[in-house]
Amino acid sequence: MNASGNASDASPPAAAVEANPRGAPSPAGKKPRSAWRIWLQVVVGVLLLGFVISQVNWRDSVVLADGTVLTGEILGDVPRDEIAGASVTIRIGDAEPRAMKLDELLQEDVGGERFAKVNEGIFRIVRRSDLKMLLLALAMFGAIAQIGVWRWQLLLRAQGIVRPFVQAHRLTFIGFFFNNVVPGPTGGDLIKAVYIARGSGDRKAAAAITVLVDRVLGLVALALIALFSLLTQLENPAYRQLSYFVFGFLFLTVFGAVVFFSRRVRAVLHVDAILAKLPGGGLLKKADDAMFAWRSHKGALLVGLLLSFANQLSIQVMCWTIAAGLHLTTRAGLEVGAVDYMIVLPVAFIASSLPVLPGGWGLREGVFAVCFHYIGVDRNQAVALSVMIGMIMSVWSMVGGVYFLLGRHAGEFREIPGADASAADTVPPSA
């Protein structure tokens, strides 16, 4: 459901389910290690977020030819350089508005073209946004999320685990809530995996692995959307770096699929023997068996991939709607084309899927700034787009928070699976 959701959060679910089936807190001896991981994650995330905040312009500014930065409020529209004699008007503090010709400002090179250094701040971008378009995008995400719920329900059914849509909906949004709101190592995919495994009898590992498969299908669909779009832009040098990322990701995905599902390759690489020698080899073997079982469910994987295309393409449309609401354009004042979005957005979502801070805050903004730079979009506009996407996701994740608190009050969610005491304290106890 979450376009920037964590694939890595889903990797340990089967082991977590088997080792801690009732969601009890971890043994006391493991608390310091878990606390260390939490603090490391928080410190790295805060540093990254602080760096991104320091790199964007919150207020309007222009840069003179000698490098002097004038910060204030830009009045009126920002003209483009190709307009002969064009000027920009900025008010600095209580002083009278000051008009400056663009050719008097510092020039910067963007994609082989030179533009005057005029920075529209985040506050200006948000202030002049179209509220109706942003509200439309908010409503769209709520509808799009149902595709992800349906996909996961079908994957569960393929493993012989039948759950009503309502339950799949609740657990999906609870996982979404933990991914977007709660810090620490108890990622939303892990929460979702453990809860679905409860009541699955001897199918615990199979139930938990569906969460990983669900997440991987979403990421693969994103990469394929970018790949198909890149095929129409093979001669465009602006996409060279992004194409390396897409091809590399798909290569690693294919390699991983071959290792998991080819008996011959597994025998050559001695996969079973390696797993047996690793700590917790027995649990890893159960997870591996549950993953290998998908070799016999190619039809379900194909349907899941098709639903992932529908889900991710719908999210693309939602992002276009947000961009339209923010009046996002290139530095030359041109609208960003659909193909451009279908290349840049998948790369940005995949690259920002690492679990640094809840909801991808900080990392996602940095990645958006870098990726949109390749198509000539100012970093302030790119960051504003990322922030709006994150806010919409956070709003909808609150539905999962309501589900969790209601279930917790009813005794259904007494513990946070896989969490130690320090992580569990982030959720208030039920009355």
Confirm whether 274 is domain-assigned: yes
Residues 230 and 361 in one domain: yes
Residues 268 and 398 in one domain: yes
Residue 22 — pLDDT band, cuts 50, 70, 90?
very low
| Of 38-42, 358-362, 379-383, highest mean pLDDT | 379-383
Residue reference for tokens 């259904």:
412
Mark which of 70, 87, 120 sits at the end of a domain: 120
- pLDDT above 60 for 362: yes
Q: Are 10 and 211 in contact (CB under 8 A)?
A: yes
Say what the pLDDT of residue 19 is.
42
Residues 115 and 30 in one domain: no
Residues 42 and 79 in one domain: no
Confirm whether 431 is domain-assigned: no
Confirm whether 2 is domain-assigned: no
Residues 27 and 106 in one domain: no
Residues 254 and 397 in one domain: yes
Q: How buried is 24 (Cβ within 10 angstroms: 0-12 exposed, 13-18 middle, 19+ buried)? A: exposed
Phi-psi region of 183 (alpha: psi -120 to 50; beta: other; left: phi over 0): beta
Confirm whether 1 is domain-assigned: no
Confirm whether 93 is domain-assigned: yes
Residues 263 and 142 in one domain: yes
Residues 259 and 406 in one domain: yes
Of 30-44, 132-146, 339-353, the least confident: 30-44
- pLDDT above 70 for 356: no
Backbone angles phi, psi at 88, to 5 degrees: -125, 140
The C-alpha atoms of residue 225 and residue 312 are separated, in whole angstroms, by 9
Mark which of 70, 100, 120 sits at the end of a domain: 120
Say what the pLDDT of residue 39 is.
65
Residues 297 and 345 in one domain: yes
Say what the pLDDT of residue 285 is.
82
- pLDDT, tens digit, 9 for 90 and up, residues 155-214: 999 988 888 999 999 999 998 888 876 554 446 788 888 888 887 777 888 888 999 899
Residues 67 and 145 in one domain: no
DSSP string, 236-261: -GGGHHHHHHHHHHHHHHHHHHHHHH
Of 86-90, 215-219, 248-252, the least confident: 86-90
Confirm whether 3 is domain-assigned: no
Mark which of 100, 120, 140 sits at the end of a domain: 120
Say what the pLDDT of residue 197 is.
84
Cα–Cα distance list, 60 to 70, 82, 102, 107, 127 (Å) = 9, 21, 15, 17, 12
Strands 60-63 and 118-119: antiparallel
Residues 93 and 159 in one domain: no
Which of 401, 343, 398 has the alpha carbon at shortest distance from 138? 398
Q: DSSP label at 72?
A: E
Confirm whether 429 is domain-assigned: no
The C-alpha atoms of residue 37 and residue 57 are separated, in whole angstroms, by 32
The C-alpha atoms of residue 419 and residue 92 are separated, in whole angstroms, by 51
Q: Are 38 and 184 in contact (CB under 8 A)?
A: yes
**Domain range enclosing 92:** 60-120
Residues 209 and 104 in one domain: no
Could you give the number of structural domains in the chain? 2
Which residue type occupies 120?
E
Backbone angles phi, psi at 231, to 5 degrees: -65, -20
Confirm whether 430 is domain-assigned: no
- pLDDT, tens digit, 9 for 90 and up, residues 100-114: 777 777 776 655 566
3 contact partners, CB below 8 Å, separation of at least 6: 218, 222, 312, 315, 345, 349, 389
Cα–Cα distance list, 101 to 72, 85, 118, 333, 395 (Å) = 17, 6, 11, 17, 43
The C-alpha atoms of residue 217 and residue 154 are separated, in whole angstroms, by 13
Q: How many residues does the chain have?
A: 431
Which residue type occupies 82?
E
Beta strands in 28-139 (DSSP E): 60-63, 69-75, 87-91, 98-101, 107-110, 113-116, 118-119
Backbone angles phi, psi at 417, to 5 degrees: -55, 135
Helices (H) and strands (E) in the chain, counts: 16, 7
